[in-house]
């Protein structure tokens, strides 16, 4: 296991912690940047807003996909220019818009919001260049669009185009589309990009002015299960380069963005916790860990969904639930290693029976004090976990720098 010594060392001090690995993050950033040469990346801060992680990614050339005023401010704090801080979220308040209109590129999420941004811009005596998030007439899997709380239905936007052009304090200069996360099929992603570019082309013609940017959203997934295959980044990058080139006559000065969270950091963090207790009840062996549901929620949610999901359609369950086994569970023993496996119920220390990490799982024989490590804990992990529940001491978030310092 990578960083095993660091984990042992830190586990002496902390009963549970995240460890984010800067060198892994930078490796991934380089891979993305090298393969997508005519695309600019935005980091979706909501996936992991740890200050060291954000600083690392933004100082390596990523802009910001912000989902709140606070995330806009993080981008500004790292001196990211306004064009590369895109604030996209449903239900922005007037105050949210007032606070960000001068330091970010606002992406209107509804017809109401287009008007609201115009009125704020008017009050501030400015013309705001904005993007709109459209809910397109296509999807990843079939040709048709689907109902969504995000964005403006494509047809509605084009219907109302005349109303928008009468607004004096905004200029619509960008398109944003994001309809899926965690796609592992690179062919689907590239045909999605092509659909977005075609929509942008239509939009540019209808607006009668050149688009300054197209934000193609996310999509690029990461392998969670052992059976998942990673997206071939070099192949997808190549295909994207060709697509952008094919559209370059249409979009001469248009910036093309891809925003991503998990594909940058998802695999660059682990969650580390310790065995606090062990007991046998009616023949079942329970291993009790520190801060699971309330420290790293993903495995517990996966258990709940598996147990109570009822086989329903799980589309839209991201980023809380991705898959049945969202992490590999690894064991580090302070005492001597053991070859013996034991079937256990792996649970947390909260006063609720829902705090189950894994049921009926075969793991090396665990004793009190042993360390359990969960992989894939770099994204939608600390940020999603209900750490206030039971008022326990939350896990620490540690950042391992390229020169092996722990911050
Ligand atoms: C959350 C989010 C993303 C990031 O998704 P990942 O799967 O982490 O890459 C990108 N765009 C929007 C609009 C989002 O809401």
Q: Poorest-confidence range of 14-23, 185-194, 291-300, 303-312?
A: 303-312
Phi, psi for residue 159 in degrees, rounded to 5: -60, -40
Structure confidence at residue 335 (pLDDT)? 66
The residues that bridge with 200 in the sheet, in sequence order, are none
Q: What is the pLDDT of residues 256-283, one digit of tens each?
A: 999 999 999 999 999 999 999 999 999 9
Asked whether 64 and 58 are in contact (CB, 8 A), the reply is yes
- Element holding 130 (H helix, E strand): strand 128-135
Q: Is the pLDDT of residue 106 over 90?
A: yes
Phi/psi class of residue 391: alpha, beta or left (left: φ > 0; alpha: ψ in -120 to 50)? left
Residues 332-345 pLDDT 10s: 987 667 678 999 99
Would you say residue 313 has pLDDT above 90? no
State CA 317 to chain mean position distance: 13
Strand partners, 142: none
pLDDT at 315: 77
Q: What is the pTM of this model?
A: 0.96
Confidence of residue 365 (pLDDT cuts 50, 70, 90): very high
Around Cβ 223, how many Cβ atoms within 10 Å?
A: 15
Ligand 1 atom nearest residue 47's Cα: 8
The pLDDT value recorded for residue 122 is 98
CA distance 12 to 20: 18
Chain centroid, CA 108 distance in Å: 20
First to last CA, the chain: 20
3-state secondary structure (DSSP) of residue 242: helix
Is the model's pLDDT at 250 over the cut of 70? Answer: yes
- Return the best residue to mutate from 181, 196, 223 for the ligand 1 pocket (most ligand atoms within 8 A of CB): 181
Answer yes or no: is pLDDT of 288 > 70.
yes
Mutate to test the pocket of ligand 1, among 217, 268, 318 (most ligand atoms within 8 A of CB): 217
Decide: 116 and 97 in contact? Cβ < 8 Å: yes
Whether residue 123 is predicted with pLDDT greater than 70 in this model: the reply is: yes
Ligand 1 neighbourhood includes 218 CB (under 6 angstroms): yes
pLDDT at position 212, please? 98
**217 Cβ below 6 A of ligand 1:** yes
Distance 133 CA to ligand 1 centre (A): 13
| Closest ligand 1 atom number to CA of residue 221 | 7
Lowest mean pLDDT among 74-78, 107-111, 339-343: 339-343
Indicate the range of 40-44, 64-68, 141-145, 178-182 predicted with least confidence: 141-145
What confidence category does residue 189 fall into, taking pLDDT thresholds of 50, 70 and 90? very high
What is the β-pairing status of strands 63-66 and 85-88? parallel
Percent of the chain with pLDDT over 70: 99
């Amino acid at each position: 296991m990578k960083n095993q010594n660091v984990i042992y060392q830190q586990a002496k001090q902390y009963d549970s912690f995240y460890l984010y690995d800067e060198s892994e993050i930078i490796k991934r950033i380089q891979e993305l940047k090298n393969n997508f040469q005519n695309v600019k990346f935005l980091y979706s801060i909501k996936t992991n807003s740890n200050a060291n992680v954000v600083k690392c990614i933004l100082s390596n050339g990523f802009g910001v996909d912000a989902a709140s005023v606070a995330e806009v401010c993080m981008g500004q704090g790292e001196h990211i220019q306004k064009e590369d801080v895109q604030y996209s979220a449903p239900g922005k308040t007037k105050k949210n818009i007032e606070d960000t209109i001068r330091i970010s590129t606002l992406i209107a999420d509804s017809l109401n919001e287009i008007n609201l941004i115009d009125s704020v811009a008017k009050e501030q005596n400015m013309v705001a260049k904005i993007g709109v998030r459209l809910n397109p007439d296509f999807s990843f899997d079939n040709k048709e669009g689907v109902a969504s709380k995000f964005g403006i239905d494509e047809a509605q936007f084009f219907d109302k185009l005349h109303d928008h052009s009468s607004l004096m304090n905004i200029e619509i200069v960008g398109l944003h589309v994001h309809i899926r996360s965690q796609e592992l099929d690179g062919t689907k992603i590239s045909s999605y990009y092509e659909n977005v570019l075609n929509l942008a082309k239509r939009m540019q013609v209808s607006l009668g002015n050149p688009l300054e940017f197209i934000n193609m959203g996310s999509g690029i997934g990461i392998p969670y299960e052992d059976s998942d295959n990673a997206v071939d980044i070099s192949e997808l990058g190549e295909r994207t380069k060709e697509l952008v080139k094919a559209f370059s006559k249409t979009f001469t000065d248009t910036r093309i963005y891809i925003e991503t969270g998990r594909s940058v950091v998802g695999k660059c963090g682990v969650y580390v916790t310790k065995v606090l207790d062990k007991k046998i009840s009616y023949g079942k062996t329970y291993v009790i860990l520190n801060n699971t549901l309330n420290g790293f929620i993903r495995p517990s949610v996966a258990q709940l969904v598996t147990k109570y999901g009822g086989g329903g359609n799980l589309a839209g369950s991201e980023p809380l639930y991705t898959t049945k086994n969202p992490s590999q569970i690894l064991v580090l023993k302070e005492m001597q290693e053991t070859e013996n496996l034991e079937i256990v119920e792996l649970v947390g220390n909260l006063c609720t029976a829902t705090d189950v990490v894994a049921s009926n799982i075969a793991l090396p024989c665990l004793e009190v004090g042993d360390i359990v490590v969960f992989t894939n804990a770099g994204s939608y992990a600390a940020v999603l976990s209900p750490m206030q529940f039971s008022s326990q001491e939350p896990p620490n978030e540690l950042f391992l720098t390229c020169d092996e310092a722990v911050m």
